[in-house]
């Protein structure tokens, strides 16, 4: 497993690929830079349909936080830098309300060069207080997806969608695409990512494993049970040595349904 080497020049190239001003390859790269291009370039390439990718940082025993909700240092420093690079490649970053309540995150890009994406919180019952800091940065679009009418601070967009148990993840993606977002990062927590995984909406899933054992606390990803291992998802997976953490880049596109038609199909259902 090669160690990634995300040098300034290769990251500059990846951002240029994203903005459509340069092709992915064409010059001599070191092995670590070439690995970086393979990993991030795949997310940066221009897309026609929305590209949906998720990232979760977990312990060796598959936990994403402690029982009290401390998730700050699950990922090591290189895992965190990786997450910030993913944010820089995304147009919008999506979190569930439990993460917003526990972490009060900023969702900005601070550990890499690049622009901070729009922020989206899925908050069906309007539990997120209007004081949450992610709602208060006018430099980016801030969106709350909710199933109830709740007034939000000036400048925050609300999208009201129907729910049964859940708000349909396909409708969420199609609606975000209608709002102009092409690259969508589902950042967590586990409950939220699992919804999109289960609905076959993820093109890629990044699982970043850090060498610690937490013992209890929220599980990484839990989806519907399968009876036999033959029925388990087995995505094509590439492992990368980030340094502090090991990243598993899981390609799920082959299993995704057509997102382009998903909104109508979901609304028709």
Question: Cα separation of 47 and 192, whole Å?
Answer: 24
Residue 74 or 202: which CB sits closer to ligand NAP? 74
Query: Would you say the C-alpha torsion 180, 152, 196, 58 has a positive or negative sign?
Result: positive
Distance of CA 12 to the CA centre of its chain: 21
Residue 43 or 144: which CB sits closer to ligand NAP? 144
Query: Would you say the C-alpha torsion 17, 107, 55, 246 has a positive or negative sign?
Result: positive
Residue 36 or 195: which CB sits closer to ligand NAP? 195
- Which residue of this chain has its Cβ atom nearest to ligand NAP in the complex? 189
Question: Cα separation of 112 and 87, whole Å?
Answer: 9
Q: CB of residue 153 vs ligand NAP: minimum separation in angstroms?
A: 19
Interface ranges with ligand NAP (CB under 6 A): 56-57, 64-65, 69, 71, 74, 95-99, 102-103, 122, 124-125, 127, 163, 166-167, 169, 187-192, 195, 218
Q: CB of residue 223 vs ligand NAP: minimum separation in angstroms?
A: 12
Q: CB of residue 218 vs ligand NAP: minimum separation in angstroms?
A: 5
Does residue 184 contact residue 170 with C-beta atoms inside 8 Å? Answer: no
Question: Cα separation of 108 and 88, whole Å?
Answer: 9
Question: Cα separation of 171 and 77, whole Å?
Answer: 35
Residue in the block written with tokens 């409950």 = 191
Q: CB of residue 112 vs ligand NAP: minimum separation in angstroms?
A: 17
Residue 124 or 235: which CB sits closer to ligand NAP? 124
Residue 37 or 173: which CB sits closer to ligand NAP? 173
Q: CB of residue 179 vs ligand NAP: minimum separation in angstroms?
A: 17
Question: Cα separation of 39 and 33, whole Å?
Answer: 10
């Amino acid at each position: 497993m090669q160690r990634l080497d995300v040098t300034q020049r290769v990251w500059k190239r990846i951002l240029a690929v994203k903005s459509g001003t340069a092709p992915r390859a064409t010059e001599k790269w070191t092995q670590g830079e070439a690995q970086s291009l393979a990993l991030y370039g795949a997310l940066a390439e221009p897309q026609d349909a929305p590209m949906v990718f998720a990232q979760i940082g977990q312990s060796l025993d598959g936990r994403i936080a402690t029982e009290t909700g401390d998730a700050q240092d699950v990922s090591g420093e290189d895992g965190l830098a990786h997450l910030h690079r993913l944010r820089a490649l995304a147009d919008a970053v999506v979190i569930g309300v439990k993460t917003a309540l526990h972490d009060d995150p900023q969702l900005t890009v601070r550990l890499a060069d690049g622009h901070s994406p729009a922020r989206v919180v899925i908050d069906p019952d309007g539990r997120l207080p209007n004081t949450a800091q992610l709602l208060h940065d006018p430099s980016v679009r801030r969106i709350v997806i909710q199933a109830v009418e709740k007034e939000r601070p000036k400048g925050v967009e609300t999208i009201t969608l129907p729910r049964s148990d859940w708000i349909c993840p396909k409708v969420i993606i199609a609606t975000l695409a209608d709002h102009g977002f092409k690259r969508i990062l589902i950042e967590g927590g586990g409950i939220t990512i699992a919804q999109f995984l289960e609905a076959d909406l993820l093109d890629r899933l990044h699982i970043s494993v850090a060498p610690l054992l937490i013992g209890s606390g929220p599980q990484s990803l839990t989806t519907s049970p399968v009876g036999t291992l033959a029925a388990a998802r087995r995505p094509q997976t590439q492992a990368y040595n980030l340094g502090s953490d090991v990243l598993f880049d899981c390609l799920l596109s082959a299993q995704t349904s057509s997102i382009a038609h998903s909104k109508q199909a979901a609304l028709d259902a």
